[in-house]
Structures are given as structure tokens and as C-alpha cells.
Amino acid sequence: MQLQFLGTGAGMPSKDRNTSALAVKLLEECGSIWLFDCGEATQHQILHTTIKPRKIDKIFITHLHGDHIFGLPGFLSSRSFLGGEELLTIYGPKGLQQWVEQTLKLSNTHVTYSIAFVEVEEGIVFEDSQFIVRAMPLEHVIECFGYRIEQKALPGELLIDKAIQLGVPKGPLLGKLKVGYDITLDDGSIVLSKEVTSELKEGFTVTILGDTKFCSNAITLAEKADIVIHEATFDHSTIELAAQYGHATNTEAAKVAQLANAKYLILNHISARFLKSDLIPFLKEAQEQFPNTFIANDQTQYEWRQHQLHEL
């Protein structure tokens, strides 16, 4: 799993940071990419990556502020021009479907694929054999959601030598055992998958929070998460101002990660008021509360590998 930040700014684009968009690359896991928020010019940001728009088959929107959705119509149109034909599912708050459909209709934009809309409420918003995505409301000035992506436990390693000792021939039967199926040999004996595989491997958990002030639901969504992506529009010196605007500070994000017993924290949604030179003390301030803290920049990529976060 890889994370690629396409926009890490707050409110409006700046020279250094575009508006909100994050690509969660699940190419090895399921061959697709999930997009979280789609601020203005997200498709321009994608042009500077290896991401193929047709590979994006799910878009999760946290809330309906423009810096999180104004890039949707252009992206949807370009996905058509670039050969996208498969179903795209868009998850988001009430009103998102109406806004998208009206925008496409009034601009006479035709797309070559079907779009399914899922109106997000608290609870499980998506589940398949590999993943569960849960949503909870956050505390912003309009309805806003945070998402928790949980990868289900992975099959253990196949103990080939042990399987062969039990009489399993080389070939497809070994593959069935590896993915959890019990098999029957030609002599009628049964070999159980659990007998010839190691314990299940724990999957990863990523929490992606929309705009929010410090709140309990953010902590709940981040509970024991491997990676927490939390907005940090303000710093500690402006903590009271942050709350008035429904936003959080760098230290409040660190407090969420600390209280949730998370492993890593990535600060996102950074105000343009902070210059590059300001980000050194900005990061240090958060790290004093939660050491495993990073700051996201546009086009920054991270990879989750061997239970650790690696910047690419």
C-alpha cells in the first residue's frame, strides 16, 4: 500500500500546496486506487504522477467545501477521455450526488462509465473480502466525515515442507491450502489448511480525517491505527482560532495520535500562512507530543512495508 499526496493545502491553492486530495494506492492488494477528496486541479496534480485515472475506482469525499470537491467534475470528465470504462463509486455526505449530477448535466458533460453514489452515514460504508471502510462524523463547520480503512487479516505463509510430508503433491492443491481451503488427497486423507500454514498476518489500518477540530470521534477512528492522516491547519499558538473555524492544530493532531495509540501521524491540510521555514518548528512542536510525526507535501509518497512507514 502506498499513499501519494496530491494536494496538502488548506482553503485555497498556494504556490507550494494544492487543495486537498490523497491517492491511496492499492495496486498490489486489489489493482485499484482510491482517492480521498478531490480539490481544484487534482487532475493537474495527477499529470505529474504515474497514476492512471481509470485505475481510480472509488472516491471518498469528506465534506462539501470547495477545496475538497471542486476538482471532481474535471476529473470525472478526463477519466472518460482517458479510457475509463469501469464503474466508479463516489462516497460522500448528503448533497454530493445532486451537486455532481447537476454540474455534469448543466455543462453537458458525458462520461463513458457508470457512477454509483453512496451517501455516507456513520458506520461501515464499504466492505469486501479484503477491506472494511468505516466512517464517523467529525466536528467541522459543516457535515464532515473521517474514514478508517482496515485491511482484513492476510493468509499465513504456506509451510511447503510440512505439506509435502503429509503427502500433498506439488501443484494446485498447495495453492488451495495457502488461501485457506482444506483438501482431500487421492487416498481419502484430509489435509487442513491450518495444519500447513502459519498464523494469519495482521493487515494495515489507515485513518484519514477530514477537516475537524479536536474531537473524540477522531480518536475513535484512529484507535491503534498504523497511519493517521490528520489536518493541521493551525499551530499551537493559534489554538483558539482553530476551534472557531472548525479546524485543528499540529499539537491537537499529535494528541489524537497519542491518545489513540497510533503508530504514525502525517500532518495534512496546512495553511498557506506557514512558510517553508515555519514548518521546521511546526513539525518539532508536534513531534514533542508524538515523535512519529511527518508533514505531508504535495507529491510526497509513503509506502507501508513490513509494518513500517517509508517515505519514497
| Gap between the Cα atoms of 145 and 246, Å rounded | 13
DSSP state of 228: E
Q: Quick check: 245 and 11 in contact, CB under 8 A? A: no
CA atoms within 13 A on the CB side of 175: 2
Helix intervals (H) in 160-205: 160-165, 172-178
pLDDT in tens, 14-42: 999 999 999 999 999 999 999 999 999 99
Instruction: Write the DSSP string, 139-164.
Output: -SSS--EEEEEEEPPBP--B-HHHHH
- Decide if 73 contacts 97 (C-beta within 8 A): no
- The answer on whether 44 is annotated among ligand-binding residues is no
Collect all residues with Cβ–Cβ distance below 8 Å to 187 and sequence separation of at least 6: 167
Question: Which residue is catalytic, options 37, 57, 67, 226?
Answer: 67
67 assigned to active site: yes
Res 154: pLDDT? 86
* pLDDT (0 to 100) of residue 180: 82
Say whether 140 counts as a known binding-site residue: yes
Report the first-to-last Cα separation within the chain, whole angstroms.
12
Spans of the chain below 70 pLDDT? none
Which residues, in sequence order, are CB contacts of 48 under 8 Å at separation 6+? 299
Q: Which residue has the cell 478508517?
A: 148
298 has binding-site annotation: no
- Where do we find the cell 492443491? 173
pLDDT at res. 13 = 94
The predicted structure's pLDDT at residue 293: 98
The pLDDT value recorded for residue 156 is 81
Rounded to a whole number of angstroms, the CA Rg of the chain reads: 22
| Secondary structure class of 265 (helix, strand, coil) | strand
The C-alpha angle with vertex 223 and arms to 228 and 244, in degrees rounded to 5, equals 65
pLDDT confidence of residue 157? 85
For 212, phi and psi rounded to 5 degrees?
Answer: -165, 150
Domains, in order of start, for the chain: 2-154+201-311 (3.60.15.10), 160-195 (no CATH)
Residue 68 is labelled as binding a ligand? yes
CA–CA separation, 157 and 166 (whole Å): 17
Contacts of 195 (CB under 8 A, 6+ apart): 162, 166
Contacts of residue 102, defined as CB under 8 A and 6 or more positions apart, other chains included, come to: none
pLDDT at 155: 78
Q: Is residue 65 marked as binding?
A: yes
pLDDT at 306: 87
Q: pLDDT value at position 222?
A: 98
- The model's pLDDT over 177-236, given as tens digits with 9 standing for 90+, comes to 887 889 999 898 999 988 898 888 899 999 999 999 999 999 999 999 999 999 999 999
